[in-house]
């Protein structure tokens, strides 16, 4: 591991330790550097601020499962792995989300999940002729549903297991998306025929 990555990981570990003791909003850069036995200059060499550090941890620990080669065939496995990591570090994610740290997570996850839903919509033969606007609407609907469910799961204390939450996603997404896209396509064709 390169020296820069070792230092970043040390800073992240110190920050995560502090999250056991303090709310995210109350942790300062001085707290982090003291915990890691580093100076402020070293921190700022690697991160702009604690939000940048938070985003780095999100990406390195959890979002990485969604950002590489996620497909329709493996999406639920990738989400399950992400949820497992989050559950393993529950104190960190609960603390961060209850403060002001969920926005960074949501914005990162949004892109990956939306791409997966767009690919799923494109793979369904019944939706040929679906407008780009409708395609975006359907993908956004499911993306916000998944992200909202994950955010709720964290802020409510992660009481449901990662396995159970993933199964709920699979059942809901696979069951309702196929039906809704088919209905959408049927309605789209009906309206198109009425205009003729």
Q: What is the pTM of this model?
A: 0.80
Q: What percent of the chain has pLDDT over 70?
A: 89
The verdict on residue 167 lying in a domain is: yes
Number of neighbours of residue 191 by Cβ within 10 angstroms? 9
pLDDT bracket for residue 1 (50, 70, 90): low
What distance separates the 2 farthest-apart alpha carbons in the chain? 73
- Domains: count for the chain: 2
> Tens of pLDDT along 176-188?
656 666 666 677 6
150 shares a domain with 86: yes
Same domain, 181 and 106: yes
Average per-residue pLDDT in the chain? Answer: 86
Sign of the C-alpha dihedral, residues 142, 143, 146, 147? negative
Instruction: Supply 38's token pair.
Output: 């580093």
Tell me whether residue 3 is in a domain: yes
> Which has the closest alpha carbon to 145: 182, 87, 178, 106?
106
**What does the pLDDT look like over 57-104, one tens digit per residue?**
999 999 888 877 777 778 889 999 999 999 999 999 999 988 766 787
> pLDDT band for position 111 (50/70/90)?
confident
Q: Which two tokens stand for residue 79?
A: 């989400």
Closest to 142 in 3D by CA, of 120, 167, 125: 120
Confidence tier at 106 by pLDDT (50, 70, 90): confident
Looking at the chain, the whole-number percentage of residues with pLDDT higher than 90 is 50
> Per residue in 131-149, pLDDT tens?
888 889 988 988 999 999 9
Are 1 and 70 in the same domain? Answer: no
Q: Which domain holds residue 40?
A: 1-47
Identify which has the larger pLDDT, 2 or 17: 17
């Amino acid at each position: 591991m390169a020296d820069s990555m070792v230092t970043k990981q040390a800073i992240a570990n110190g920050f995560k330790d502090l999250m056991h003791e303090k709310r995210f909003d109350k942790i300062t850069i001085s707290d982090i550097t003291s915990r890691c036995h580093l100076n402020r200059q070293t921190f700022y060499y690697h991160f702009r601020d604690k939000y940048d550090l938070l985003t780095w941890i999100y990406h390195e620990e959890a979002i990485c499962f969604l950002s590489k080669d996620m497909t329709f065939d493996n999406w639920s496995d990738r989400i399950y792995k992400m949820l497992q990591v989050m559950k393993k570090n529950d104190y960190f994610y609960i603390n961060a989300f209850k403060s002001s740290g969920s926005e960074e997570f949501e914005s990162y996850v949004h892109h990956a999940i939306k791409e997966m839903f767009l690919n799923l919509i494109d793979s369904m033969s019944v939706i040929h002729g679906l407008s780009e606007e409708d395609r975006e609407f359907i993908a956004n609907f499911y993306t916000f549903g998944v992200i909202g469910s994950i955010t709720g799961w964290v802020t409510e204390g992660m009481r449901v297991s990662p396995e159970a939450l993933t199964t709920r996603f699979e059942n809901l997404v696979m069951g309702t998306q196929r039906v809704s896209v088919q209905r959408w396509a049927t309605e789209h064709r009906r309206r198109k025929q009425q205009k003729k």
